[in-house]
Chains A and B, each alone.
Chain A
Amino acid sequence: MTTPTAATPTTTGPPAGRVSRIRRHLPFTPWLFALPGLAVAAAFVLYPFGSTVANAFTDRRTLVAGQWVGAANFQEMARDPVFWTALRNSVLYLVGVVPALVLLPLLLALLVRRQIPGITFFRGAFYTPVVASVVVVGLIWVWLLDDRGLVNSLLETVGIGKVGFLSDQWLLLLSAMFVTVWKGLGYYMIIYLSALANVPRELHEAAAVDGAGPVRRFLAVTVPAVRSTMVLVGALSSVAAFKVFSEVYLLAGPTGGPAGEDTTLVMLVQRTGTGLTGRVGYASALSVVVFVITLALMLIVLRAGRKEDA
């Protein structure tokens, strides 16, 4: 099980021997069927992927064909403090967001699991932030966390005083993480809900009979039963968190907060490589770093999941 759909193809289809009896079509028919999808995948995913890797070793710009420069882009990156800031922020984002998105939606799923009256409404309502565009969500929280917004107004009313959620470098990053978690809760809640449906209720009841309290039952019964789903959620959310763009872009602004200190890696890619003066070569090298770390993250999380299995 890797990502949402990498997991899907592994399901058992009909036995191979039986399918092979069905073969009555012209030789090129299957390829005609595949053509639209294949063309899009080739032209807008695989080709750009290849050209990103190739461009990473050139000094290509948007309007200027580039020259081969070897590893110069990567050497420049290593010397560039902005790159390290961006990498730090993306990693921090991952570290902050992933534990919350693995745990909180599970608790939420347990809360909405039982068929009590009105539960369908609550499930739907908790999913609303998922449906909304990240831009809408970002603007909603920009207004809520504004110096004169609702949250600060409430904090003042209870006597805590204003907090500069959107002006302090670290609070900004933290606020963006909160927004990501807030928007993701419902999505992962549904995933956990599907997984919980497969946990035999008898396990819980047996544990309860043995005198295990709710916390104990959660740790001893629920967590082991949905562990593979937790690994999946961990993989999905860590890949998504590392590639964060919109939340920080909207909360901290296009330049990434005070002195650009909140820039993330994908924001740096976007800022460096687009527009008429874009440094395509350097941005491609940054993209390659995004690829490598994303892939590594997926492998690490899934490996960790498998090891615990054994």
Chain B
Amino acid sequence: MTTAPTPASAPPPAPATARRRPGPSGPAGERGGATGGRRPGPEAARRKGPRFTDGDGRRITAGALAGRYVLLLGVLLLTVGPFLWQLSTSLKGPTEDIYSSPPSFLPADPTLHNYARVADTIPVWDYALNSLLVAVASVLTNCVGAALAGYTLARLRYRGRGLLTLVFIVAMLVPVEGIIIAQFQTMRELHLNNTLLGVVLPGCVGAMNVLLMRNAFLNLPVEVDEAALMDGANAWQRFTRIALPAVRGTLAVVAIFAFMGAWDDFLWPLIVLSDSSRFTLTVGLNYLHGTFSNDPRLVAAGAIIAVAPLILLFVCLQRLFFRGVGEGAVKG
């Protein structure tokens, strides 16, 4: 299910997908392999001043290592700092000067007051619930739809399979921004504009996810299917009992990216939802910003409410996020 370098414990079907994709943790996988013989003895290291070895067994001088950490901390400040500044702003009380120069980085008297005020200003918890509903629905439909379609593209034989594959490739290449007006028209005709169902539907089975699943199923050894056939398993049984458990990893990736995509989406909900009682968090946040931008504390609290669940999810499932990007983009 993961690309973790634990060759001994991996169950037989999973490595078929894992092995083909050197994930971002790739260097870790090579650990101790090719370099074993080249590693200098401890004497050699001592002779040339302080040296360290990294996880791959490569030598690195103390100066280079320190330089690396300085750079890493610099980039860290640039990437995570803005989030922390937003968090700090959201915790500053109404009497604290948020415009002070030089700036005060920590709230003098941290308070959750702003979070309560956001809830008084916009129905932020309703919006969060809407976002959650949309995201969960999107996860379910994407997992089911993409697994089914991916399986039929990869493991069943019939006339028209090539054409079917082409349909999904074309669908993936069509830029969403270009069809959004027509999608809005379709939703109006179906009377689904201004509903959460209307938000979910266009992205409920992403063509890219179908192709990801197809790829995962293709990598399963064919012998497994043959053995199941001998036992008289029909297509549905082969799908649910044999193929699906073997591609859990990819399925998890699809689930995570479906959740993130639905939770973070802005343009489509902005177009399809017009009634402010139906907003998702992103659209609600934009509304909050537009209406109450004179108080950055309030907007900051709203932004933290919107981003905190995803950061938590990310911290828990970091490896799967990275694998998804690796699988989606790097091939050959």
Q: Is the CB of A29 within 8 A of B235?
A: yes
Tell yes or no: B278 within 8 A of A by CB: no
Q: Is the CB of A3 within 8 A of B172?
A: yes
Q: Is the CB of B229 within 8 A of A24?
A: yes
Q: Is the CB of A126 within 8 A of B76?
A: yes
Q: Which of A3, A194, A284, A298 contacts B22 (CB 8 A)?
A: A194
Interface residues of A in 179-231 (CB under 8 A from B): 182, 185-187, 190-191, 193-198, 201, 228-229
Q: Please, which residues of chain B bring their CB within 8 A of the CB of A49?
A: 174, 178-179, 182
Contact A126-B182, Cβ < 8 Å, known A33-B151, A131-B260, A135-B282: no
Q: Please, which residues of chain A bring their CB within 8 A of the CB of B239?
A: 33
Q: Is the CB of A37 within 8 A of B161?
A: no
Encode contact with A along B189-203: 1 for CB under 8 Å, 0 otherwise.
000000000000111
Q: Is the CB of A195 within 8 A of B330?
A: yes
Cα A291 to Cα B180 with chains together (Å)? 12
The stretch among B40-48, B106-114, B115-123, B261-269 that forms the contact with chain A is B261-269
Cα A165 to Cα B178 with chains together (Å)? 30
Tell yes or no: A171 within 8 A of B by CB: no
Q: Please, which residues of chain B bring their CB within 8 A of the CB of A47?
A: 182, 186
Q: Is the CB of A131 within 8 A of B332?
A: no
Q: Which of A37, A135, A195, A274 contacts B286 (CB 8 A)?
A: A135
Closest beta carbon of chain A to B114's beta carbon, Å: 13
Closest beta carbon of chain A to B280's beta carbon, Å: 10
Q: Please, which residues of chain A bring their CB within 8 A of the CB of B101?
A: 153, 156-157
Interface residues of B in 62-119 (CB under 8 A from A): 65, 68-69, 71-72, 75-76, 78-80, 82-83, 85-86, 89, 99-103
Q: Which of B79, B156, B290, B306 contacts A126 (CB 8 A)?
A: B79
Contact A132-B83, Cβ < 8 Å, known A46-B170, A187-B325: yes
Q: Please, which residues of chain A bring their CB within 8 A of the CB of B321?
A: 127, 131
Question: Which of A29, A38, A46, A245 has the most C-beta atoms of chain B within 10 angstroms of its own C-beta?
Answer: A38
Q: Which of A9, A141, A182 contacts B169 (CB 8 A)?
A: A9
Cα A49 to Cα B207 with chains together (Å)? 14
Residue of A nearest to B297 (CB): A143
Interface of A is mostly: helix
Q: Is the CB of A127 within 8 A of B322?
A: yes
Contact A133-B102, Cβ < 8 Å, known A44-B183, A142-B289, A193-B24: no
Contact A274-B76, Cβ < 8 Å, known A44-B186, A236-B329, A250-B286: no
Cα A14 to Cα B325 with chains together (Å)? 24
Q: Is the CB of A5 within 8 A of B234?
A: no
Residue of A nearest to B30 (CB): A197
Q: Is the CB of B102 within 8 A of A153?
A: yes
Closest beta carbon of chain A to B296's beta carbon, Å: 5
Tell yes or no: A75 within 8 A of B by CB: no
Q: Which of A44, A132, A186 contacts B307 (CB 8 A)?
A: A132
Q: Which of B58, B141, B282, B299 contacts A143 (CB 8 A)?
A: B299
Contact A23-B157, Cβ < 8 Å, known A9-B211, A11-B218, A135-B266: yes
Q: Is the CB of A37 within 8 A of B149?
A: yes
Residue of A nearest to B322 (CB): A190
Q: Which of B21, B30, B78, B181 contacts A52 (CB 8 A)?
A: B181
Q: Please, which residues of chain A bring their CB within 8 A of the CB of B286?
A: 135, 250
Tell yes or no: A269 within 8 A of B by CB: yes
Cα A198 to Cα B299 with chains together (Å)? 44
Q: Is the CB of B267 within 8 A of A44?
A: no
Cα A273 to Cα B203 with chains together (Å)? 20
Q: Please, which residues of chain A bring their CB within 8 A of the CB of B182?
A: 47-49, 51-52, 55, 284, 287
Q: Is the CB of A124 within 8 A of B226?
A: no
Encode contact with B along A29-59: 1 for CB under 8 Å, 0 otherwise.
1110111111011111111110110010000
Q: Which of A29, A44, A46, A136 contacts B306 (CB 8 A)?
A: A136
Q: Please, which residues of chain B bring their CB within 8 A of the CB of A186?
A: 79
Q: Is the CB of A125 within 8 A of B80?
A: yes
Closest beta carbon of chain B to A6's beta carbon, Å: 6
Q: Is the CB of A287 within 8 A of B179?
A: yes
Q: Is the CB of B75 within 8 A of A108?
A: yes
Q: Please, which residues of chain B bring their CB within 8 A of the CB of A38?
A: 149, 164, 167
Q: Please, which residues of chain A bring their CB within 8 A of the CB of B265?
A: 133
Cα A150 to Cα B82 with chains together (Å)? 10
Which residue numbers of B lie inside 8 Å of A, CB to CB?
20-24, 26-31, 34-35, 52, 54-56, 58, 60, 65, 68-69, 71-72, 75-76, 78-80, 82-83, 85-86, 89, 99-103, 141, 144-146, 148-149, 151-158, 161, 164-165, 167-175, 177-186, 188, 201-205, 207-208, 210-212, 214-215, 218-219, 221-222, 225-226, 229, 234-236, 239, 260, 263-267, 270-271, 274, 281-282, 285-286, 289-290, 293, 296, 299-300, 302-303, 306-307, 310-311, 313-315, 318, 321-322, 325-332
